[in-house]
Chains A and B, each alone.
Chain A
């Protein structure tokens, strides 16, 4: 009941991403370091009588600067101490650390349950090792299957023996089974123990390779990349700047695959790349591919580019538009496009190439140079289904859980545009997506995708002066594609209501309520909509039903009381206001509305001057006489009691607290002030306001 569709869905409000989330999301994608360069920690248990650990990260050599994640232990080399395996976000993503603590006395056990009472792995078994000559004669360990973070350690259980002179016995509490005692154990041995049987010495294999120290050399980051994208990602609108400086939209030729390249005359790899392509122009022609090379020399702050040189190079390559300059908007659009595909958002480098199919959908992106052979090979992915595209996108073989891969999410491109305050570009990109997807809508899954795109467009359009009138059409299209989506119904209801089509809005909300009859907030929204469209009887019915299910919902009851006032049923309204206050004494608006009814209603039988005055005095003292509405009500109640000088003072104070541009509310107080000054009380109009 907290928010009506009108409050909730004003056009601006739908655009309001949570600002912080947006910023954070961007920073995470854009390579910001967060609590990075931290060194792993080792805390040494000093073993005293009270808990005391020393930080020994550096001295032990454990202080790796990796973005460390998992950590598991195992005596890998069977030398009697615990070695460590680590995983990390940064490279090397795996480390093996040999522990050099030995020689120290130890003993290790590997348990095997009977598989009936105790599970075979003996997970959950508790070992009690009883030692001779130690200050701490009993040591306990439990075998765990998974501990720490994302890690499982070896199920060999290892005991350092410290100051002990010998082993007295081992007590095993098998999970689900009886305790077992084993004696005759010696330090320095590895024992395998089968539940109910004795301990058997395990001899580690001979011929172990020496564990020589090695600093792993991680690979350096290389930003040149070939990125095969999932199908379903239309190219954005690109714009060129013609020789006379005007802008001109550019479209690829329908039905023909296109190689879109961006280059600069000072960029040697760009020239080398285009030269190689030019040498194989016949192959491109034979494959039916257009090559479009956009020059970026004049973009940005650098205006020192030499148009003659660009034109000369353009001629040399003879590709379409080779001399044409890309408009800054086009570069941004291509940059958004590549970011939408990747999780790590780096600026688009030069040269960069986009391979698109005959439908104007992206096949692959190349950062850095790409050969003509690679382009022609990748052209074969033009008609590849999502699974084939996915297979082409990955560098190493493996298996997927789902055989079927998904399609691209073009809304991410629009989202990035929006994040860069290019809302109109976002809407226009969604239009392109709609144009591409509409012919495919009978294919599985496309209706939902198309509906979501219409929905996003419908949310963005109200804030755009250029596109605001299209919102209802977009949302209607979205609703028709995904009739069960409540979000769409609510957004459409909002837009319809805003356009003065209250009945249609109510119909949408009614449909929403039918889709999900358990969501009470939808009912509240519908009632609110009826109220705002002055269908008070319908609103009352909804509130009655709502309150039957939620009798303690004070805001709903408050609204019901308002509806009752509008329905000229002041007695019922008073009862509902009082019930609201009884359920939720801090609902100040309810107290205020009640007081105004009791002080200003034209019917003498309804008014209750003392009660009204008491309520308004409480309201004003609770808000430290800082609320102009409550002061207005106080003035009203005072005048009703015939205390006109006090009423004038209260009204004047209310006026002094009003904001400069207070509109009709301010006018109301001022007109009432005039009444009080001529010793007259105020009465609400006989018909509802």
Chain B
């Protein structure tokens, strides 16, 4: 009998310990004046620390804790946080995961706060609509905007006989690549110093590729093929927001992909998988493996600061009708629905969405603020450091930007489509793969 009592006592104690552990887990933190904010960008984490310090000064007793996790783990960690109940109060989010989180009620709608504070959304020139969900509510303030530009090794370009003006006015078409196609062929060098458009060029021993990694598995192609194919009028979705299908089987798209693959086959661009993911596009340009490439606007200052290398920035190509067309996207600043301090979280998020914070944080050049006045301030500050962002500010002015569609089921689409792009660019599949892709997106978008 004593033994049974001991057992019972032991069981009770264990249970009590478990219960108290649970309650302390959920109870802890309430009443504390700490705002946790997460980002996946190490440079932005450092940039926004300036705002955090100002915010803490203006709100005595409040601490802002900025954490950064690598983008490969960021969304997994965020989901684990939702489940475990310790997700950050507010966080940077990508449109790719917007639908998944909003439909599972993990994001706090901001409309009541926006109304109460009379927060003027029109201060943002881009990205507000990307964070409006199917229920019509606003779930985030846009944190930034991003576009695509052309980055090139100025010395290599000069050696090949081109001027900056030539790069600024490149034309392109999916049939022969236009003046752009001619330029990258000429920029390509093999190990014996022969150029890509010369006789005897050895495509198996290329020393410098005329163009970067355009044959990539990326299913939106934001920094790769998107700025080319969009000049033909092609768009990813059948409508701009919440599309029902991605137009991969459009003849204009298929033709462009054929052109991209021909660059691989001619040795003007690296083959898919040739450089592992540990090699970034900045590494490719700085090591001289690549002479010219398209890249994200958020990389402009990183490219410009490559030591001992003069990097030029140019706009993307002009299409068959003479116009440029560039995809732009905006990350959002979300508040977690489960936060214990929604008011304080909103205070922080709305402060981050103010001109004061945006102008200060964006002088680092690690992101482009969505507020035009801040963007100007940022461009001014970077110009004094010798980084000319006029290529991107002109895109904004000339209205060559078009917004990235907002769509559901992003992770599933990515996992289904990327292997198909890989197989196509590796030469394992032919043009018929694009019809499969289109059908796959149709069923996956319907599921969301």
- On whether the two chains bind one another, the answer is no
B interface residues, Cβ below 8 angstroms from A: none
